[in-house]
Amino acid sequence: MHKAANAYMQTKVTTTTPGHLVVLLYDGAITFLEQSKEEILAKNYAKKGILISQALDIIAELDGSLNTDKGGEIAQNLHKLYMYCNTRLLQANLKMDTGIVDEVIGILSAFRSAFSEISNNQAYQAPPKAASYYAR
């Protein structure tokens, strides 16, 4: 079952648009953070730390994908917000504070909604099929 789920996710990631991929990353980070809150309440601190680390990895990936040359001020502001989220999650991890985790979930959820709206409104152009290329 685990292999089938991984295969499905791999297919989903490789066949989606860049905008939808960003939405999937936000979904993953939010899911990990929701799970980390449950682990804080259950006093399973090791698992909480792993889940917050996974969310931090996703935020780092989102931050690393920013193009400050083309994105200009928007990319710079997103970078600052990602750094803020990182700082807050490190504090939440140390203080076992679900309120701080909720704050970051709120920020990421707002970004997720914005990227989802943008990616749904953009027309996706599929790359040309090999047959049409060779039919010339």
The pLDDT profile of the chain, 136 residues, written as one tens digit per residue, is 556 545 544 555 455 677 789 999 999 999 999 999 999 999 999 999 999 999 999 999 999 999 988 989 999 999 999 999 999 999 999 999 999 999 999 999 999 999 898 888 765 544 445 444 444 4
How far, in Å, CA of 134 to CA of 75, rounded? 39
- Record the pTM: 0.78
Cα 99–Cα 103–Cα 104 angle in degrees, nearest 5: 120
Q: Helix or strand or coil: residue 122?
A: coil
Q: Where are the domains of the chain?
A: 15-119
User: What is the second-level CATH architecture of the domain 15-119?
Assistant: Up-down Bundle (1.20)
